[in-house]
Structures are given as C-alpha cells and as structure tokens.
Structure 1
C-alpha cells in the first residue's frame, strides 16, 4: 500500500492534542525528530508506510482511519469559494487558502458558512441568476458538512439498530417477516402494500394502525422506507439529540432528520459487523453484497461510506450522486478527493461518463491537479418509472478511494493503478481548475486573465487563453 501521497498531518495533530500528548513525546515514540513531526503535522512532509503503521499502532487505530483529514477538503472548498468572481481582485493564492485551512480551520469553516448565507440571500434577490447557477442550497450544504464532520458514522444509531435487529432476527429468519412482526408486536403497526397516489412511497395511518408502502416499489426500497420510519419512532430522541448538538440551522433540521433516519435504516438492513465482513470477504463487490443483504446498488454504496467504527473501520471512501444535468444531490468524502460544493464537477470524471454506459460499473484512475490519484467506480441507475408513462430518474452513483487503497476493491483487478499514463486528469470544476489547456473547459479559470489571439483558434475557446 502506497500511503505516502495522503496528507494526514491534520489527523495526527488532532489525535495527539485530543490525548494531550506532546510533540516531543510522540516523535520519540515514532523514532523521528520533533521538527520532522512538526512538518508532517503541517502536511509539509509525507508519511512513509512503516511510519504510518507505527503511528496507527501507537494511537490504537487502523491505518485507514488516518486518511480522514479535514484540511485538504476544507482547503478545496475554500478554493472553490474564492474562485467566485466576487473575489477576483483579492489576489489570493492557493497557498494562502491552504494555509488558512491548515492553521485556522474554524475560521475557514466560518468563512464557508458566511459565503453559503450570502449565496442564499443572493438567490432570493436574484431568482433568475439562481436558476442559471447550479449549486447546493444552504440547507443541503449544512447537512453535508454535518455528516462530513462526523465521518458519516453515528455510534448511537448503530447501537439502536443492532438492538432492534437482534429482536427482528429472533422473530424470523427472514428480515422482512421479522420486521413485520416487530412493528406489530412493539408498535401495533401492520405493514401492508397499497395502491398509493403517484409519487407517494409510504403512508402511515395511525388511526388504523397501518404503515402502507406503494405496491409498485422494488422490495429493497419498500423495506428501506419502512425501516426509515422505524428509525423515526424508535430512535427519534437520539436523532434529535444529534441534531441539537450540531447546532444546525432550523431549515436544515428536517433534512438532517431524514439523513439520520436513512442512516438507521441502512444500519438495520445491513448490520455493521456482518456488512464489514462481507466487504472484506468480497473485496467490496457491491452487487454481490447487495444480493446477500437484499439491498440496492445505491444502498450498499452509501452503507460502505459509514464503516468508520474505531478499530473496525473499512476503506475510507467518497460517494457522489449526480443526475444527467450535473446536479450533485449527495456528496461525502473520506478518500481526500474534493467534490464540488457549489460549481459543477469535471465532465472527465467517470461519474458522468457512466451515463454513456448504463448498467455497467465503470472504473477510472482519476488524478487531481495537485497530483493525488484516486480509484473511482461509477454506475448509472434509474429510479421510478413504475407506472405506465411515468418518467424515470436517471442518476449516476460514484464511489472511490485513494489509489493507495485500490487493491482492496475487486474492481481494480486488471487495472494497473501504478501506471501514471492510465490516470485521467480531472479537476474540481472549470473555474478553479488550473488545467488551462483542457478541451472540455466550460469556463475560464478564476484569477486567470484571458489573452485572446485572433490569429489562432483553439478547439475550445477557453483553452490556452
């Protein structure tokens, strides 16, 4: 495993401070000088593989847990922010922004929140321009940040799901039958299929003691939506405590509640330890695991990103979901890759190319402008369309890891991830991507003054200008 390209200094520094360990003491334990450790903690030196494992052993964590690092992600978000035309005259360099993210992450997060609020107010004042500029709302940004700050792992919800799953398994060998029995015995609810109005997937009739799911839903979707409601009524207080502790904006709380009940549902359908074991046994074979747990492709991918139990973690992954218009509706990254917060992502990324090869898992070694490489898979899926003439939703699900973990995924078999020539150069978004000569550039690079030569014309107007 080649871990040297992963910037993990911030993670080591946080662990050291949390455990009140001096730099000198940690440096002595690792067999390096305090000055060298200081450079590592500020991401100015790379970790070698032996040193990584020594640090993991010292802190009692798995090496993969070090891949989570807030600073690179925050720096990427800030670079995207400062790429806005609003800051064109500020003369900020990428190093200035990286220094802010590293030395004052709290200030960096405050700047992000202020900018999100500015965009929200600008959307209200300029509804037409808001329709032109694609981007997440303040609400979804706040919830994405909340999940990211918790590494998409919530021990209290895992524990609640495990307790209920034990009762379900005791009631029946079939998860669906056991879930029905549990709902009836504990909450007096009968689960049955019904012909619900178009667009409705679930309805709870408290007066009749029924929970209804649309009779046209796939079995895994019906089970998930019932498990999500079970999360609302059985783990509601724990979910509310998580939301209150996060100090989320009021408008973001319903979205956060939906995300956490969905987390509970996934933990109930795919219990942590059996699911982690299945990931290791199959090397993250999504479709094979889906058959084992009777879950959809997207459900399995999402569950894979939650495997962050201390001492029992999985591969640190990123997840992105986008539609054919490029709207990103889910984004989460533990791999270190930067997923755009506001602007559209790079069209060279396989999460978009997957639409050209539906029902097939597309693999790609993606290289970011800073040189870091990631192993990414993506698959286009369809949702809806269960009724005659009902339109379908076309989505692409992207999952990936830092290239150093690629060997742990079955999809890397036959791919020479060490071959730099196979890597596809991608960026975060055209406005902040430094690759001026890209033929697929849709916008001029932020901070780059265009110089047009009328005697020559590039394939792309914005390339090499």
Structure 2
C-alpha cells in the first residue's frame, strides 16, 4: 500500500468515534466536553460530514487511552478484504454483493462487519467438522473428536495488526545487549553466561538423548538443554527465545492481552511468535541491522553471514523495521511448502494474502521450487494496478542428520515497486517492463484470461460453450457471453 499523500482527504472515521463513545457510555455532549469541541461538531464527525483531524485524533487517543491503530484505515481495508474473500464462497454465488458496499460496511459498521466475518468462520469450521465426520463414518470408525479452530489465524492477525513491530521487545533486546555485554562474534557464549548469571546451566545433548526435541527447559533443575542438531546460529536463537519466556513473561502477557486474540492456544501461539521476534531482535539488533541492510542494499545472503543467522531469519527481521523515523523498506513476506500451503505471511507492503486458500500460482515463490537455492526476481501487478518487486528462494530444513527429513520450503519477500531500486536484486532490471499480472486468489481476481485459473471469479457466471475449446475453461465468462 502506498503512503498517503498530503493532498489525500483525511479519512472519515465517524463510526469508530461513535463506537468508542458508546463503549465508554457517554452522550455526545459528554464526549464533546472532554474533547473541547461542540456537540454539534462531534455529531458531524460521527455522521462522516466532518473529518477526524490529526490533532483531534491525538486528543481522542490521550483522553480515552486508546491505541492509534484502532483508527487506522488499514484495519478497514483488511476487514473489507476478509469479507470479500468470505463472500467469494460458492454459498453466496446467487447474491449480488458489490465490492463498494462491502467496503462501506467495513468502514461504517466495523463491529457488524467483524460479526459477519466471525459467522462465516463458524460456518467454515462447521463445514470442516461435517466433512471430517462424513469421512470418518464412511471408514466405519465412528465419530471423530470435535475439530478445534486453528489458532494460527488469530495469532497471525495479531502480528499483522501490530505491523510486526513491538517497541517493548526491541527495547528489551537492546537492554540485554547492554547489561550483559553481548558481542556479535561470541553471541552464543555471551548468552550462555547470561543464563549462568540467573543460575541456569546450558547443556548441549546428543541427538539420541533428546529424540525429536531441539530445546527443553527444566525450571526445577535449573537447566536448559539444546540438541547437538542445532547449528550454532540456531543455538543462539533458541537461547534468546527462552530468555524472552523467562525474563519477559509479564511483557509477553501484556502484549497478548488483546481483546481480538482468543484465550488459550491462540495466545500461546502469539507468545511463541513474540519470543521469536525478541530472539531475532537479539541476534540482529535494530540499529546495526538497519544500517547494515541499507549499506548492503538489502543483500539477504550477505546480511545472513554478517549476523550469523539464516536466510529466512533475515527475511523475518527485514519485515519488522518499522521504528518511527528509522523505518526500513516496507516488505511483505510469505513462506509456502511445495504443495502451495502458506505457513507464514505478513504484509507490510499492502499486498493482500488469501486467508482461506493458497496464493496466486503466478507468484514467483512457486517457480522458485524449479531452481532450488537460487534467487528469482519478479515485477508483478495486482488487479488494482499496484506493482510490486519480489524475490523468492527455496529453503531446505537443516536437520543435521543423515536420516532426518530434509523438507523443502520457499520464501517470498517483496515491496512496492517504488522501493525496488533500494534493493540490490533490482540492479540491471528495467522496472518499467510489462509486469506479470497476478492476483490474490482465483475467486478474488477478475483476470479472466489467465491460463492458470482454477475457479471462476466472484460474481461472474459461467456460460459453457461446448462447441468452443479455449486455452482456459474460464477465459470466456459473464452472463451476457
């Protein structure tokens, strides 16, 4: 998503102001008095007849102790995109649901929009349970246990809402460096000393002593065990991760006490994600890493060697450089397996990821499996006209043992085309060349000429022409065709 320009009109946030007022149990007169404005002016703001100006937004956030992100227009965009993907379900094929009205609902009535989306999620979960039940009954094995919703979606949404930047964890990582005199070339040994200062011994065990386990903490015995299968960089990462769980327990609890983050597995998963974030901040301290990234023009392999981390860890860290006044290039990131399943994703560039299916097959992250270990570049364009510059490369899990499973995955990292020249990977490329037309997913993409389309786009009927064979079954769509 491109940055706002000074000439762009201020966002209309009347519905959010009204929702906040009702949540606080205030009348328009009461809230107006606390904000120092007239009730009639507040009424105009809530009716979207006057914009919520920046000074008034600051005053509102301070007076009612709310996060600025509550009023971020990006939240409306993400909710509208989620609703559009939900309405892409064949369940709604016979309904006329214009995108403009969906976006208007997300902006004007965010609570209702979220309720509709939660209902759809419940519908999908119920459908999955019925399918599992049918499969189980057909095999004659009786009733299966009730399926539980995946917590990964809620944890991923939590990271996305924070734009993958957590100042408290950055400050804690910098404090750890200062207090324990960490050193880049001896980071693992310094972290071992830091644990020793807390009365915790770090031991490396044979793989046969910890089958299937890479890290295990014994709070009663005061020991932290690591597997010999972990390379040195991974041992340092696991130490930093465990440090977050021990020394920053209260911080992690505070960050995950999010009303939109369900209790239980989702919050536990979010805590793990935050501990990983902290570990990345320890291995790649914000200031030195940002400076190194700029000087190296975001050469990922060079940064991996300089900070003694993996290619994927560098990619993750690059997406978190959002400190005000010290921002890096706003990247998006995804990781997929060879079947196209998305296991991790984050969008800092504004690009949209499908929630309920894999990404567009034209994305270069899929093609990277054809050239293992090599970096592939791509200039692409979404249906809304926004162009992106993306790189992709495969990863092979390092198990450290002959009989271990060497699973292959691929990661994609990209940014708005406006930032492409800051990346070394764009050298020698003509950025104005015709881009590869891509989409989010088939149901949300209107490109009917795509030979790789697997499903028809939303709100477009299919007219089967038996006497004509086209390059794609969906290349000729529309009610009037």
**2:226 counterpart residue number:** 213
Distance 1:171 1:416 in 2: 41
Pair 1:121 & 2:121 matched: no
Pair 1:95 & 2:100 matched: yes
Distance 2:335 2:117 in 1: 22
Quick one: which of 373, 376, 384 aligns to 2:387? 373
TM-score by structure 1 length? 0.81
Maintained 8 Å contact 1:279/1:285? yes
Pair 1:70 & 2:78 matched: no
Mapping for residues 82-231 of structure 1, pairs under 5 Å:
82-127=87-132, 138-169=150-181, 174-195=186-207, 196-231=209-244
TM-superposed CA distance for 1:430, in Å, is 1.1
TM-superposed CA distance for 1:186, in Å, is 2.0
Pair 1:335 & 2:349 matched: yes
TM-superposed CA distance for 1:448, in Å, is 1.7
Pair 1:248 & 2:261 matched: yes
**2:294 counterpart residue number:** 280
1:86-127 residue CA offsets vs partner (Å, 9 max, x unmatched): 222221012222333344444434433332233223322322
2:409 is paired with a residue of what secondary structure? strand
Structure 2: state its 5+ residue gaps: 21-34, 38-48, 53-71, 137-147
Task: Tell me which of the two structures has the higher relative contact order, counting C-alpha pairs closer than 8 angstroms and 6 or more residues apart.
Answer: 1
1:204 is paired with a residue of what secondary structure? strand
TM-superposed CA distance for 1:171, in Å, is 7.6
**Distance change in 2, residues 1:91/1:277 (3 Å):** same
**1:453 counterpart residue number:** 465
Quick one: which of 362, 366, 369 aligns to 1:355? 369
**2:144 counterpart residue number:** none
TM-score by structure 2 length? 0.79
TM-superposed CA distance for 1:194, in Å, is 3.2
**1:260 counterpart residue number:** 274
**Distance change in 2, residues 1:361/1:433 (3 Å):** same
**Distance change in 2, residues 1:7/1:106 (3 Å):** farther
Maintained 8 Å contact 1:316/1:334? yes
1:289-320 residue CA offsets vs partner (Å, 9 max, x unmatched): 11111110111100111111122111111111
Mapping for residues 44-55 of structure 1, pairs under 5 Å:
none
**Distance change in 2, residues 1:253/1:372 (3 Å):** same
**Distance change in 2, residues 1:410/1:144 (3 Å):** same
**Distance change in 2, residues 1:305/1:106 (3 Å):** farther
**Distance change in 2, residues 1:248/1:323 (3 Å):** same
Distance 1:9 1:102 in 2: 17
**2:446 counterpart residue number:** 434
TM-superposed CA distance for 1:429, in Å, is 0.7
Distance 2:226 2:105 in 1: 49
Maintained 8 Å contact 1:323/1:395? yes
TM-superposed CA distance for 1:247, in Å, is 4.5
Distance 2:336 2:6 in 1: 27
**Distance change in 2, residues 1:178/1:260 (3 Å):** same
Structure 1: state its 5+ residue gaps: 23-37, 42-66
1:252 is paired with a residue of what secondary structure? helix
Maintained 8 Å contact 2:229/2:399? no
Distance 2:7 2:231 in 1: 41
Distance 1:255 1:147 in 2: 11
Distance 1:400 1:68 in 2: 22
**Distance change in 2, residues 1:401/1:21 (3 Å):** farther
1:243-280 residue CA offsets vs partner (Å, 9 max, x unmatched): 11344212311111111111111111111111111111
Distance 2:369 2:5 in 1: 30
TM-superposed CA distance for 1:10, in Å, is 9.2
